[in-house]
A and B are shown apart, each in its own frame.
Chain A
């Protein structure tokens, strides 16, 4: 039972345009959401996060939007750059005991074309 889903395995975007990566979750107890970026042969690195008390968080070119009623979050990258080509994972954590564990989606491979 996949509690965090990234339904698009891959996404191709032209350099300079907006990249939108999507993530859906099923567990209403999730309280905190994170996005990670992963290059080949490296470990994932933290990108941006959002608490369930917010609906938007922005950090430079990266913005995460949270729609709790739809159980959906998205990552916007504007403008997209060649160095953004990577696999992106969304992750979620719950509350209370075990809240510090993360549940990851399957990942979306983003390719930025020059």
Chain B
């Protein structure tokens, strides 16, 4: 069965360290997204990609970067981790076809809980 996986599931790091969170999907979806979930804010978009070599900034992109070298993977990098980046991070994908065919529905991974001390 197709799926979307994230690793690690839990990560503790120190302020100033570079951290990379992995996201891998086997849906063969063109679109991939990274969100963070914080109490009172819901899910906020960090970065997204509509295909290989395409990346775009979302609502809360400062301090984060992504690269898309293949269809399956969109790793999220925190260049210099800060305590404000302690959060739960979700990766999602969608096929991007017509919304009437469910193309805008995003499938989410299980999340990565990141703690920056």
Contact = CB atoms under 8 A, between A and B. Distances in A.
A100 B94 contact: yes
B30 to A, nearest CB: 9
Contact of B111 (A42, A45, A49, A106): A42
B40 A100 contact: no
Given A93-B99, A106-B42, A43 B111 contact: yes
Interface residues of A, number: 26
Nearest to A98: B56
B41 A106 contact: yes
Contacts of A91: 43
A104 interface: yes
A89 B43 contact: yes
Interface string A97-109: 0011111111100
A4 B55 CA distance: 24
Interface string A44-68: 1110010100000000000000000
Contacts of B100: 51
A14 to B, nearest CB: 26
Interface of B: 4, 31, 33, 35, 40-45, 48, 50, 58, 90, 92, 94, 96, 99-100, 102-111
Interface of A: 4, 6, 31-32, 34, 36, 41-46, 49, 51, 89, 91, 93, 99-107
The 7 closest A-B pairs by CB, nearest first: A43-B108, A104-B43, A106-B42, A104-B42, A32-B99, A46-B105, A44-B108
